[in-house]
Structures are given as structure tokens and as C-alpha cells.
Amino acid sequence: MLVAKYYNNSDIRLEEMPVPKIGPGEILVKVAASGICGTDAMEWYRIKKAPRILGHEIAGEIIESQSRRYKAGQRVFVSHHVPCNTCKYCLAGNHTACPTLHQGNYDPGGYSEFIRVPKINVDHGVYVLPRGVTYDEGTMIEPLACAVRGLRLIDVREGQTVLILGSGVSGILNIQLSKLKGARVVATDINPYRLNKAKEFGADEVISADKKLDILADKVIVCTGAFKAVEQAFQCIDKKGTVLLFAIPDKDIPLPIPDFWRNELTVTSSYGAAPADLKEALRLIADQKVNVKDTITHKLPLSKIQEGFNVVVEAKESLKVVLVP
């Protein structure tokens, strides 16, 4: 089968390898669509473990099953990270802190024609796609679930003002979810295309990020790795407000300690998604509460993955890139 092995953002090599063999309790999935996550293009983050086969936003068809729960022919989304559900973190509802979640994955990775899904992922991370949900939409379940979790953590409510810094695909998902919560949403970006998209997907106001932001928000969600966005977050957060680091820069962040203390600010982060978030994301997509279909701006064959990465890295007139093996 064809796989794409990541060495760095400008060196992704197409290789052949055998189709994985499955064991008891496992399933083999033919990948129908695989999204390129922004974190896969964070070279400083990914290159530490290169070379490897990345890809964790997949939807496909089960073609072989040794599980009693699933059968060949079912259309599924498969979560690459699953919690153990028994450790102290899971029992406290903090599934994304679970060591098992951070260690697991499917074999070999989503940028391939087939994946072997280990038993623990079969037991805790397979979601059958409803008839009305396409494979392309299935690739958006995990990204949307991450946003679902982030908004739950910071408790976005009706009537609040939410400032979203960065209007790439994660920003667009956070815009839609914040509007569902009844919040007033202001979105920024330096890219006019993405500012237009932010407005199109429901932002009440859009502001170019290279201008002074004259706003005080109850919640600020950082959806870009630009260091300037973090500085803007602290400039725009109201008293008792919360800054969510949904995305992060590649260096440490200084805290404005006097403001942090005097204004009783909260700074938190959000990583990944728990099973409950994935179920909620699938429900929102199936019920057409969140528009993920139109966030997919590019579809390419797996053989053109380098072109897809270039599109993501350049971040010009694009949101989500989906590969079709």
C-alpha cells in the first residue's frame, strides 16, 4: 500500500509498505479521507519524532474485522488517541491527561491507504458514521471535538463576548461553536481571505490582526501560533476573563503578572479531545448544527500530499486540506 512518510514540512516521501495484519479484537480500515491537521505542519513539534507516518483525522470503511462490535462494510471515523478510562485522570474527567491517550495510535498513520486499528482503539475510539455524514465530514470530527472541549473548559455562555485570534480552520470551528452558545464573536486574522471566511461562518465582527484591537472580551481563544496573538490576548482580556491557548507559539510566554493578579485572570490550555467530545462533535455534524463541509477548501490525492502541506504552511486562501488515498 502507499504511505506518505514525514521527514520535515518540505520533505514528505511516498513509499510502499505491506498492508497491516490485524489480530484479535482489531479492525482494518480502508482510508477514504484524511485531513491534514495544522499541528502536523508545526515543524518544530513534529520533526522531533521524524521520520514517521502522520495523519490522525481519518474516515473510512472497515474491510476486515476481528471484533464482535464492528463488521466489514461499516463507514467509520477512528480516533487515534483513546484513554484508558481507569486512571486517576480519566476517573476525574480529565481524559486528555491520561498517559494511555498520549501513547496510543493506529498503525501506521492516517497518511496511508489502510490502517490497523488496535483493540483499545476499537473498544474506545470507533464511531460509525450516520448515513448523512460523508467521509469528508468525518475527517472533521476530531478537529471539531477539540473545539468542543476547549469551549467546555472555559464555559462560554450566552451574552459573553468571545475574541478569537486567528481565523484558520480551528478559528472557524470556534466561531461556530461560540455562536451556538449565544456569544458575541469577534475574530481576527492578518489574511483578508480568512477574515472574509470568519464573517461568512458567523463572526459578528472581524478585525485585521495588524491593527490595534480596541476590545475587552470575556473569553479570548488563541487559534494561531503567532506570538503576537498571545500578546494581543492579554491586551484584550477583561477583568475576571479567561484566555484559552487553543494553539501555541514555539516559545515560552511571559505573563503580565500585575494584570494577571489584579484582574484575577485565568489562563488555560486545551489539548485534544475526550470520547464525550468526539460524540458531541459527531452529533453536531450529523444534525447540521456546525458547517464543516464548507471548511474543506482543498481535496488532493495522497500522492500530492507535499502540495497539501505546502498549502497548509502557506496559509493563504485555504482552510482545511483533505487527502483522498
Read off the pLDDT of residues 5-21 as tens digits, 9 standing for 90 and up. 999 999 999 999 999 99
Q: Per-residue pLDDT for 80 more than 90?
A: yes
Task: Look up residue 182 and give its DSSP letter.
Answer: T
Read off the pLDDT of residues 88-98 as tens digits, 9 standing for 90 and up. 999 999 999 99
Helices (H), the chain: 43-46, 88-91, 99-103, 119-125, 135-138, 141-154, 169-180, 192-200, 227-236, 257-262, 275-286, 305-314
Q: What is the pLDDT of residue 254?
A: 87
Read off the pLDDT of residues 269-294 as tens digits, 9 standing for 90 and up. 999 999 999 999 999 999 999 999 99
The CATH code of domain 2-140+292-324 reads 3.90.180.10
Percent of the chain exceeding pLDDT 90 equals: 95
**CB within 8 Å of 316: residues ≥ 6 apart:** 191, 193
The CATH number, out of the four listed (3.40.30.10, 2.40.30.10, 3.40.640.10, 3.40.50.720), of the domain defined by the range 147-269: 3.40.50.720
Q: What is the pLDDT of residue 104?
A: 86
Q: What is the pLDDT of residue 253?
A: 87
pTM of the full structure: 0.96
Read off the pLDDT of residues 111-164 as tens digits, 9 standing for 90 and up. 999 999 999 999 999 999 999 999 999 999 999 999 999 999 999 999 999 999
Q: What is the pLDDT of residue 58?
A: 98
Cβ–Cβ under 8 Å, residues 324 and 301? yes
How many CB atoms sit inside 10 A of residue 205's CB?
Answer: 14
Per domain, the residue ranges of the chain are 2-140+292-324, 147-269
Whole-number average pLDDT of the chain: 96
Q: What is the pLDDT of residue 44?
A: 86
Q: What is the pLDDT of residue 251?
A: 87
Q: Per-residue pLDDT for 62 more than 90?
A: yes
Cβ–Cβ under 8 Å, residues 5 and 15? yes
Q: Per-residue pLDDT for 206 more than 90?
A: yes
